[in-house]
């Protein structure tokens, strides 16, 4: 006896509960096909992977049980897993195979020896939406178009000549922020993060687009934009079930595409760099702040304003910024790489299309390379440590990545962070 006649003319007694509307619910069809398709694809992928010598790792995580852990503390979870499985291990999440690497020796094979093979990205659904299909420098696939984009950006927007040409604009934005703080009443609180965020945004928007957040209600607009940026970053970092089961992407089950579109227009008006953690660490370590202010007094003079040419004469402040980025890297796992062909890393096979994460958060806290790795000690970047830079030349310290995919905005970012920190440390307690 049929459970339900799809034409809606009759129903069996076992299926009467399903046929109130004289048709089989579309949701049940989608769910059934999804479950069967998932089981088949996972079985096929595991059978294929079983023939390769993959890195060690736990059995595939049930997607619904694992999703809550794929949040802002993912890098810490990866560090704990590394203690059990070693510096290279795999995670099978849905249809996606992920490999996490937390050893400078193995990272070298990725960003040096096989840099071209690993120069592609595997962006999430949110990242694709945010970057209009992965067409920006961060997410575009490696190839002639990406090389042209990066060449134009580095040569036309990030050259020393162009950065120097915009110094007067950056200087005026910093001076305005100083006046705003100086004009506050005694005892009125100052939101350091808000102040730094607004200043940097206005510096960059003035350089690239010729505008600011506006003269009227500037702080209010900046606060709203900062909330929008924070929410977008959270969306980009949150797990999306469609990233692990791509055939579900068309349904936008968690609303990730919709939310990303809502924020990306506001995001593309302005971009910023990273200041707040450095200020927070110095407030937590007043002896560090005192040394930095003494250095500024000696180099700049007590009655003078900080200028960008002073930055190269401030080694202690440089060490503060470096130590801040060691403990609080902007992207703890960097942006995942994706090999264009099956590769061998550390004696293990990394299949084509695998998401490869470089856990710089773990490497920056590895006791093999760092004494007292959990403590904030800028002095570690003096002496032998002074050779550690932001260019990815020393693989135990990669705050901005390494190889072809290193952060393209590094020159401007370093200038602005140092200039902003130096100015406010010199002008205020």
Alpha carbon distances (Å) from 193 to 63, 189, 274, 281, 409:
36, 12, 10, 12, 21
Q: Find, among 198, 197, 184, 168, the residue nearest to 427 by Cα.
A: 184
Is 407 annotated in some ligand binding site?
A: yes
Q: State the DSSP string of 95-134.
A: TEEEEEE--HHHHHIIIIITTTTT-EE---HHHHHHTTTT
Residue whose token pair is 């920006």: 136
Residue whose token pair is 């998401």: 355
Q: In degrees rounded to 5, what are phi and psi of residue 90?
A: -115, 155
Pairing of strands 348-350, 343-345: antiparallel
Give CA–CA dist 180/146, Å, rounded.
41
Handedness of CA 236, 241, 244, 247 (dihedral sign): negative
Q: State the DSSP string of 21-71.
A: TSS--HHHHHHHHHHHHHHHHHHHHHHHHTTS-PPP-PPPBPHHHHGGGSS
Q: In degrees rounded to 5, what are phi and psi of residue 143?
A: 165, -175
Q: Find, among 86, 79, 96, 94, the residue nearest to 57 by Cα.
A: 86
* Helix 167-182 vs helix 410-427: crossing angle, to nearest 10: 30
Residue 88 forms beta bridges with which residues? Answer: 101
Pairing of strands 96-101, 337-338: unpaired
Annotated binding site for heme: 407
Annotated binding site: 407
């Amino acid at each position: 006896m049929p459970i339900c006649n799809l034409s809606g003319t009759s129903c069996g007694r076992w299926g009467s509960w399903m046929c109130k509307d004289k048709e089989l619910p579309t949701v049940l069809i989608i769910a059934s096909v999804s479950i069967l398709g998932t089981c088949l694809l996972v079985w096929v992928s595991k059978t294929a992977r079983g023939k390769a010598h993959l890195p060690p790792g736990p059995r595939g995580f049930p997607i619904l049980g694992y999703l809550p852990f794929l949040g802002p503390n993912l890098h810490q979870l990866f560090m704990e897993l590394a203690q059990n499985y070693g510096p290279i291990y795999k995670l099978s999440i849905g249809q996606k195979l992920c490999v996490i690497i937390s050893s400078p020796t193995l990272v070298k094979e990725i960003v040096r020896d096989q840099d071209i093979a690993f120069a592609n990205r595997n962006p999430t659904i949110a990242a694709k939406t945010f970057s209009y299909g992965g067409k920006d420098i961060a997410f575009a696939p490696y190839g002639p178009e990406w090389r042209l984009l990066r060449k134009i950006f580095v040569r036309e927007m990030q050259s020393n000549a162009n950065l120097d040409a915009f110094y007067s604009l950056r200087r005026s934005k910093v001076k305005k922020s100083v006046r705003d703080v100086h004009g506050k009443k005694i005892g009125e609180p100052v939101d350091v993060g808000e102040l730094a965020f607004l200043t940097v945004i206005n510096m960059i928007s003035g350089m690239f687009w010729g505008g600011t957040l506006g003269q009227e209600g500037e702080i209010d607009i900046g606060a709203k934009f900062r909330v929008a940026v924070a929410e977008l970053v959270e969306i980009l970092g949150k797990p999306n079930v469609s990233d692990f089961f791509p055939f579900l992407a068309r349904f936008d089950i968690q609303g990730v595409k919709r939310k990303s579109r809502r924020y990306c227009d506001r995001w593309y008006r302005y971009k910023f760099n990273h200041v707040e953690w450095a200020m927070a660490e110095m407030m937590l370590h007043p002896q560090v702040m005192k040394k930095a202010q003494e250095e500024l007094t000696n180099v700049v003079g007590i009655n003078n304003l900080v200028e960008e040419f002073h930055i190269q004469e401030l080694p202690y402040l440089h060490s503060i910024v470096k130590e801040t980025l060691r403990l609080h890297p902007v992207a703890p796992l960097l942006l995942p790489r994706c090999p264009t062909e099956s590769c061998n890393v550390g004696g293990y096979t990394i299949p084509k299309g695998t998401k490869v994460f470089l856990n710089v958060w773990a490497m920056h806290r590895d006791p093999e390379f760092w004494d007292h790795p959990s403590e904030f000690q800028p002095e570690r970047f003096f002496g032998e440590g002074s050779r550690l830079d932001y260019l990815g030349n020393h693989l135990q310290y990669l705050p901005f990545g390494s190889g072809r995919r290193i952060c393209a905005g590094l020159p401007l970012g370093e200038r602005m962070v140092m200039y902003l920190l130096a100015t406010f440390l010199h002008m205020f307690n």
